[in-house]
Amino acid sequence: MKKRLISALLVSAMCLSLTACGGSGGSSDGGSSDGGSSSGALRVAIWDNNQQPGIQEICDLFTEETGIDVQVEVKEWDSYWTLLEAGASGGDMPDVFWMHANNSQIYMNNDMLLKLDDYIDKSDKIDMDKYLPQVTALYTYDGSYYAIPKDYDTIALWYNKTMFDEAGLEYPNENWTWDDLYDAAAKLTDKDAKKYGYALNVTNDQDSYWNIIYSKGGYVLSDDHKSSGYDDPKTLEAMDFVGKLLSDVCPPASVMAETQTDVLFQSGTVAMITQGSWMVPAFKQNEYTAENCDVAMIPYDKETGVRASICNGLGWAAAASTKRADDCWKLIEWLGSEEMQIKQAELGVTMSAYEGTSDAWASNTDLFNLAGHLDMAEESTVEGVENKIVEYPFTYNAVKWTSQCQKDLVPAWDDPSQMEEKCKEFAGTMNDIIASESK
């Protein structure tokens, strides 16, 4: 079993795409190197530099309360998963760390995470019913809990007010359909000037085309997590629309792959992107976006009446091998408590997973109207439209098929006339991958 785990984690470290809850990798390698030690500071690992100051502040409050020192270290995305992979094989993992939906099933199934059931039962701060169920499900295995939800995210439409003003166009709003987005994007596109109305990237599935698929009635993964939806007629219809966007209003696929859509947006090259709430700290810190940009709800499909947003969320987990399980739990309990979830939101770290706490996140800045993200979790105010939060699609080793999808759809990204053919081909590949997963 250990060999199977290590092999899977090597694939994860090499191929996992950078999406969801933290788009910027870290560069700081602070903290002790003796992870799992029985003394000294608790070693906490994360991958997003933008979140580090707020997380460290919350951990410092924990130290003041308990006397337990905490050192938060930030790793680059690839280095982060290499660190955990090395810990899985050598037993030297950080004490407390972020867990992601793409890898959680592997870690839970192979007993690499501390089981939290007994701690939760005795806690007066943690009630699992208080967290968004779509996130809780990502860190539950065989009826047991292995992480406390840290946050949740929604996808919204970010737009460049200056580019809209110059084109004399109305800003996006909650009444926009995907057709409205296309029409505006076409008017904002000047390929000769290298200005584009919209951008999306095959490596950014959660914050781009997956939302279109679900809004148009398709699906990525079946409800029982056993089969692909890439060959479903509604999915193919949605991907045909994605191809239309790519052909008419987006930068060349090679440019989007090399530069990334958030960078293109921050430079004023593209007028609109769909992006996750985890990017707010970066957009706040960027002088251009802070001055020129804002956010609205993601569009809905006029035929289905569905506005869909893929929802992911990170979990606070501890290594099963830690020599300080009780101290790890104290920190995780602190981070997941209502009080600290509110604190996380107030600091603008990210939207918090504890119910009723994210309003504080929307108020952390006056630069943007963050209701575009928060309102996805509420009933629609548009007649005949349903706001639908979609659980992040996962299987035992989701990273394997999501990474393969990035490769297999490249020809369709370059030549959208191949979209249906490549989606159908990938559906077969994805089904083979899922069928080969050994649990």
How does DSSP assign 215-231, residue by residue? Answer: HTT--SB-TTS-SB-TT
Say what the pLDDT of residue 366 is: 92
Say what the pLDDT of residue 437 is: 86
Say what the pLDDT of residue 37 is: 47
Closest alpha carbon to 271 in 154, 373, 162: 162
The pair of three-digit structure tokens given for residue 166, joined into one six-digit string? 């110059």
Say what the pLDDT of residue 87 is: 83
SS3 assignment, position 384: coil
Backbone angles phi, psi at 149, to 5 degrees: -55, 130
Q: From first to last of its 439 residues, what are the pLDDT tens digits of the chain?
A: 444 444 444 444 444 444 445 544 444 443 333 444 456 899 999 999 989 999 999 999 999 999 999 999 999 988 999 999 888 777 678 999 999 988 899 999 999 999 999 999 999 999 999 998 989 999 999 999 999 999 999 999 999 999 999 999 999 999 999 999 999 999 999 999 999 999 998 778 999 999 999 999 999 999 999 999 999 999 999 999 999 999 999 999 999 988 999 999 999 999 999 999 989 989 999 999 999 999 999 999 999 999 999 999 999 999 999 999 999 999 999 999 999 999 999 998 889 999 988 888 988 899 999 999 999 989 999 999 999 999 999 998 888 999 999 999 999 999 999 999 999 999 999 999 999 986 5
Contacts of 28 (CB under 8 A, 6+ apart): 49, 52, 73, 74
Say what the pLDDT of residue 34 is: 41
Q: Which residues of 192-205 are buried (b: 16+ CB within 10 A; e: fewer)?
A: eeebbbbbbbbbbb
pTM of structure: 0.85
Say what the pLDDT of residue 91 is: 67
Say what the pLDDT of residue 217 is: 98
Say what the pLDDT of residue 24 is: 45
DSSP track, 13-69: HHH----SS--S------S-S-TT-SSS-EEEEES-GGGHHHHHHHHHHHHHHH---
How far apart, in whole angstroms, are the C-alpha atoms of residue 62 and residue 125?
14
Rounded alpha-carbon distances, angstroms, from residue 257 to 1, 51, 202, 250, 269: 36, 25, 8, 12, 14
CA 428 to chain centre: 26
Say what the pLDDT of residue 438 is: 62
Say what the pLDDT of residue 428 is: 98
